[in-house]
Chain A
Amino acid sequence: MNDHFVNAINRRTFLKGSSYSAGSAALAYLLSQDLGTAAPQWRGVLDDKLHLPRQAKRVIHLCMAGGPSHLETLDHKPALAKLDGKPMPESFTKGQQLAQLQGQRNNLKCLGPQHQFKPYGDCGRMMSSAFPNIGSLSDDIAVINSMHTEQINHDPAHTFMNTGSVIPGRPSMGSWLLYGLGAETDELPGFVVMTSSGGGQDQPIAARQWHSGFLPSKFQGVQFNAKGDPVHYVKNPAGVTREGQGDLLDTINRMNELLGKRQNDPEIATRISQYEMAFKMQASVPDLVDVSKEPKHIFELYGAKPGDGSFASNCLLARRLAERGVRFIQLYHRGWDHHGGVKGAINTVSGHVDKGTAALVKDLKDRGMLDDTLIIWGGEFGRTPMAQGNGRDHHIQAFSLWMAGAGIKGGTSFGETDELGYAVAKNGVSVHDIHATMLHQLGINHELLTFKFQGLDFRLTGVEEARVVKEILA
């Protein structure tokens, strides 16, 4: 019998003789939620061998899905206002890839910024007045205005943002983090995804965005649902009480222990521990999503109502997940695809995301957690300075995002676009650079976190050069 199994059995000897009706110690153990001493579910290949000093313990990615317009959010372009309605200078667009505007290549007109910009914070950075709450974070966040990407359509652009590759089947960033660092919870998945929508046409999001690809599937993200069971199959079947389920679990594990005595198979011990974790999840997940004990001022801060499935509610849950040791938390807000009516749509989407975003950052800061939580806010690409009616088309030459917390230097801005916000003019930052920077803050050299697949050493940052954006680090 291997040691692992013996240990597992020993750990569990006091479970013997549990009785559902008798309320035994074993059942009490299984039913208790005070499990703080339990070992992490996965220690991660880097474990204590981090390459660099660790600043971030966890990452919250606020994915503004659909392609937010940098021109109405973070990239101030007064020159574009002057050209509003005038032809887009051909020098910008000649020979460039266009998405839906490809049909009117010869009749491209500029669309001036649809919202005013104004200075925010002590740093005085110009940001859109449509997002006053995010603006109030100005001194806490570092804005990158020189992002560029390779994919001009939503689905592959998300895949590129999440996995660093456009070929399906590569692991997403959250999976890489779990693989490298493990999780600090054995009651919750280490990589959690939530979605919300509102503010634009809901572009679909596929589960491949949080898939573990060629990494072991235990590293894939688990989607929490706003409606129905928060996690699939986390609820007992009808007519089964928590005690009844605990009784069943205990029996299953005892049967598996007997099997483990007869059969040499290390998977048996793992199976037993997975059933324990499943049972804990059955309690901890409802506990996580039960926000009823949050004080009133927190609801007011976030602008959230319990169970409304809004982005604001998801932000609150993100904080609760962060508190419970989840490594990578990803919130998608599907409301940023503004091909038409960008002015009004920005107001609408701001109503969905502005307050919740700012509340999350402030709440984490108040709790001292912003210091070791890295926040990334941004979409899969930007939008054209050219008009598509009164909206904007997809754009990959330039977009903006911001980061905060965990060693990010607040108040900094990095990179520039040209005067019309069409292309990167200075200090371009690639998606791989963002990945490298994120890993750096987590104590990982992006070149050294690799996994062998198809005979090759794969990494999140791909084969091209990637650099840590040191300029935004404190």
Chain B
Amino acid sequence: MRPTIFALLLIASLPALTAPLSYNRDVRPILAENCFACHGPDKEARKAKMRLDVRESALKKEAFVPGDPEISELIIRIFTDDEDDLMPPPDSHKSLTPTQKKTLQDWIKQGAEYEPHWAYLKPQRTSVPTMGARHPIDNFILAGLPKEERKLSPLADSKILARRLSFDLVGLPPSFSKIKDPRADLAAAVDGLLASPHFGERMAVFWLDLARYADSHGYHSDKTWSMTPYRDYVIRAFNENKRYDKFIIEQLAGDLLEKPNTEQYVATGFNRVNQVSEEGGIQDAEYIAKYYSERVRTTSVAFLGSTMGCSECHDHKFDPFTTKDFYAMEAFFSDIYEKGAYNGDGNYNPGADIKKYPGFKLDKWGPALDIPEADKTEELKQIAVEKLALEDELKKHTPELEVEFQNWVNELKSKLGSNDAQDVTILDDEELPLAGVKTVTKNVYSGSIARSQENGGLVQHIIDASSKAITMEAGDQLFTYVWLDPKNPPKQIMLQFHADNNWNHRAWWGEDHIPYGKGSNKADHHHLGALPELGKWVRLEVPGDMLDLGAGKKITQLAYTQFGGLVLWDLAGRHTSANGAALAGLPKPTRTAILASKDKPLTKKQKAPLLAHYRGIAPSLQTVRAKLAKLDERAKAAKGKTRMTLVTLATNPREIRILPRGNWTDRSGPIVQPALPEFLANLSAPEGSRLTRLDLAQWIASKENPLTARAFVNRVWAQFLGYGLSRDLQDLGNQGQWPTHPELLDWLAVEFMDSGWDVKQLVKLIVTSQTYQQSSNVSAELMAANPYNTHYARQNPRRLPAEFVRDNALAVSGLLNAQIGGESARPYQPAGYYRELNFPKRKYKQHNDANQYRRGVYIHWQRSFLHPMLVAFDAPAREECTASRETSNTPQQALNLLNDPSFVEAARVFAEQLIGEGTPFAKRLETGFLRLLNRKPSPEEAAILLALYDRQLGHYIKNPKDAMALLGVGLRPAGKEANPMDLAATTAVTRALLNLHETITRY
């Protein structure tokens, strides 16, 4: 393979090299883009056994000769005009530009030195350049500017800066956040916003995208689930300025901390809020595989800014992540108590048992916690005080009560008889009818009806007996009456009772067909012989003890079960002693006392329990008891209002194998143990144990990890400056982008870690820089010179995120319900939007209370059909971890702001506020502008809007019905004070204001 003469000439004719090249900055991007796919880390895809990403390998295969490009194969191959030899090959559709070719040439001439990828080296504290600025960030930014343009843009004016800070820090307009003049005292203004409880909501918007938080489970039926406590945890964490390292550990492995508190369990919802499925026919193992790989993708992007996703099927083509790394990372999550198929076919990890986790429950979606609502201590205290007073009243012993009590005791005693047994009815006509079951009136045993059950196979009908207190006495027998049709006899009949929260109390007659309890010879399936005589009413009897229904057991339901045939069922009951019958329902000490004093007066000792019991039923105390019951209800509501949240519990780990090409059905790959990516870390478990999620979390949250702090500060920077110092917020790896300011990125990362991972301090550091405070409005020349603002020599205007577009309208109109946390909110939504959902069919129920007006971060997040307003303004469905949102500019956004009732109502309520008590139009406009845009209107603007007002007023005066219709939009009724025509025309003006580009943009 000899170079053509032409190529040699070309090489010779290129100018001499100049500045020293950096492998990371200049060379690697070219190789990564064009070469590594076939000559990189993925050994499956590697061509000619040649890899260019490792210097030693490249040298061994004689890819180049350092210092001598002319005899370097790499250079010859990229310049050749022989299509067979050309690199990259034509069929790859890649090609190098002349500049790129020259860069490679110069680099080899300079010695072809490699550097490890920048993001995989621990960030070092870089020294701040001395550029004469006071703020370190500004010195870095100035140093990054070309020499001749070494200055920042002028500062934004105070009003614009206030609006910028307000939206950037709390996601609300300055008229709501009440930020003080930031030019006068910037630090105080920033501290004020950082202390606001709305700061957490603002930061949560960005974190919840990464955590793929949603209110529905995702796949297929996409039912609502309850995870809101996790969302509130994130908000609280930012508000309380939780250390970021702690924030990481709690979310990934809070359950593995020593004596975790409730909050730490709630945090682990991070691992459980992934999409899951309950679709019929899915395979447990397939979905478990899906969940594991999704978790690796999310964990690597969210915390490490690394895309490991490719390694599921092959060694990463551009980064040193291997397939083994991917599955070894999966193995960290294999201890999570979960299943793949939530449709009844799935199985939890072998041996997992929720009973081993007191306080937790097993929800349909797996392990969960019920979290009490916000602090209700004060309310409970108040209730306790009121209760005490009533209880005193209840305890008062009056002569009237004494008389009442004695009468009751005497009556009870008079009923006591012998110990002869008698029947106590449990079921009679009242309980027998059941929807869908036949009853007969002719052939009955007692009363006027009997139940008729007929079927070719298994038939069972249940009777609810919970309204009657059935507490078993010692020696009680249970009985029922049946009539078996001689023409169509059943093969088997069964009597079944529900007690102790289960149905395992069965007695049966005939052949063994009914599947319930089958195979057991115990109380849960007791055989009492052949079928009874046909064609006559027969009493079936079974001793309670035989069915594990001894003294004290409470029966709540009965089931009549048969296999085949026609059977009439009637009266059922309990055969008990006469005393037992008389004293039915009384607590044991009371019964003992009555029986013991049958023929003599009560002793003091006997009287106490009886009197205590009697206070609970005495008619004269009914009012007091009712009041107490109400208080109890209130206490229960205060105490018992809980929100469920799914949590991570660790149980027996599943076996994780490397899946060849990611194929879950292929079990031929080797088993892997939890391990950190080999090229980044070297941590092995002590002999005989395995690494845990906590080890993973601690490694991620460690100062030794080169990626964690960089990924986070890069994203926080992007929140305030528009885009990351390394542009790709997902990926800091080889395919990401070389940072525009690598020294600043590292300095911020080290500063952040050294501050104790202090998020608020990081935010304050950024927003107090001049870089942040620059004007976003620069000359056309400056804009044209650097349209992408690579050097941060100005601020970037940014459209508000979806949530804040909504919050702004609600806040300026005064409609906003500023409640922090709680259940998700359901604002107006187009009717029928959920029509494609099924299993079950869904009907959206908007909130008709104060929840209608809550912030966007609380909107019910339905993954398969996200609220159209959120969709229009680029919020992600959160099916996967998302590190950055698009900022689109579409007609759907216009339609939304124009016609969505949320915005129409906000405009109208805004208009009402502006009109007040007949304020003149000019003043309305001024107030409106100040509230919405933090500035006064220009005369030209005022004239345009006044003209709009006049024309609209003309229309509404002519068409008052239109005015009434417009004012009727939304739940909040229009005030009576304003003239409807005036209000409708002013609403047109406020609608225009809410639609302005300036309104939804922070400059």
> Interface on A for B, CB 8 Å cutoff?
1-2, 19-21, 97, 99-100, 102, 152-156, 166-169, 195, 201-208, 211, 216-218, 220, 222, 225, 227-229, 231-241, 243-245, 247-249, 251-252, 254-256, 258-259, 262-265, 267-268, 270-271, 274-275, 277-279, 281-282, 334, 393-394, 447-448, 453-456
Contacts and interface: CB of A to CB of B under 8 A. Distances in A.
B242 to A, nearest CB: 28
A154 B279 contact: yes
B928 to A, nearest CB: 13
Given A225-B830, A252-B995, A264-B783, 10 more contacts: A19-B951, A155-B219, A168-B880, A218-B890, A229-B830, A237-B899, A239-B966, A240-B962, A277-B891, A454-B728
Contacts of A205: 836
Contacts of A228: 830-832
Contact of B895 (A20, A232, A393): A232
B22 interface: no
Contacts of B736: 455
**Closest A-B pairs by Cβ, 3 of them:** A455-B735, A239-B966, A239-B965
B898 A278 contact: yes
B221 A204 contact: yes
B310 interface: yes
A146 to B, nearest CB: 21
A251 B945 contact: yes
Given A153-B277, A169-B880, A455 B733 contact: yes
A251 B949 CA distance: 10
Contacts of B277: 153, 155
A248 B93 CA distance: 50
Given A204-B864, A241-B962, A278-B894, A153 B952 contact: no
B825 to A, nearest CB: 19
Interface string B932-951: 00000010110011011001
Nearest to B275: A168
A247 to B, nearest CB: 6
Nearest to B988: A248
A233 to B, nearest CB: 4
Contacts of A270: 889
Interface residues on B, range: 35 or more
Contacts of A263: 776-777, 797, 998, 1003
Given A167-B880, A239-B962, A254 B944 contact: yes
A2 B778 CA distance: 11
Given A195-B836, A205-B836, A264-B783, A217 B962 contact: no
B780 A1 contact: yes
15 contacts: A206-B836, A207-B877, A217-B874, A238-B965, A244-B955, A251-B945, A263-B1003, A265-B777, A267-B1001, A274-B893, A275-B891, A277-B894, A278-B894, A279-B894, A455-B728
B880 A454 contact: no
B997 A268 contact: yes
B895 A233 contact: yes
A256 B933 CA distance: 13
B225 to A, nearest CB: 16
A239 B964 contact: yes
Contacts of B689: none
A393 B282 CA distance: 12
Contacts of B283: 97, 99, 102, 152
B964 A247 contact: no
B315 interface: no
Nearest to A6: B780
Residue from A206, A236, A248, A274 whose CB has the most chain B CB atoms within 10 Å: A206
A103 B173 CA distance: 59
Contacts of A2: 780, 783-784
Interface in B973-1003: 984, 988, 991-992, 995-998, 1001, 1003
B183 interface: no
Contacts of B901: 237
Contacts of B995: 248, 252, 275
B892 A222 contact: yes
Nearest to B218: A168
Given A156-B219, A239-B964, A252-B996, A265 B1001 contact: yes
Contacts of B890: 217-218, 274
A166 B309 CA distance: 12
Nearest to B896: A233
A154 B894 contact: no
Contacts of B851: none
Interface in B861-875: 863-866, 868, 871, 874
A111 to B, nearest CB: 17
B879 interface: yes
Interface in B823-851: 830-833, 835-839
Given A97-B665, A204-B836, A264-B778, A248 B281 contact: no
A274 B889 contact: yes
Interface in B197-224: 219-222
A156 B735 CA distance: 28
Contacts of B900: 233
A292 B900 CA distance: 28
B447 interface: no
Nearest to B944: A254
A258 B935 CA distance: 15
Contacts of B866: 207
A331 B188 CA distance: 57
A259 B735 contact: no
B116 interface: no
Nearest to B780: A1
Contacts of A232: 830, 833, 868, 892, 895-896
B944 A455 contact: no
A21 B955 contact: yes
B896 A267 contact: no
A15 B824 CA distance: 44
B523 to A, nearest CB: 31
A308 to B, nearest CB: 15
A454 B307 contact: yes
B898 A233 contact: yes
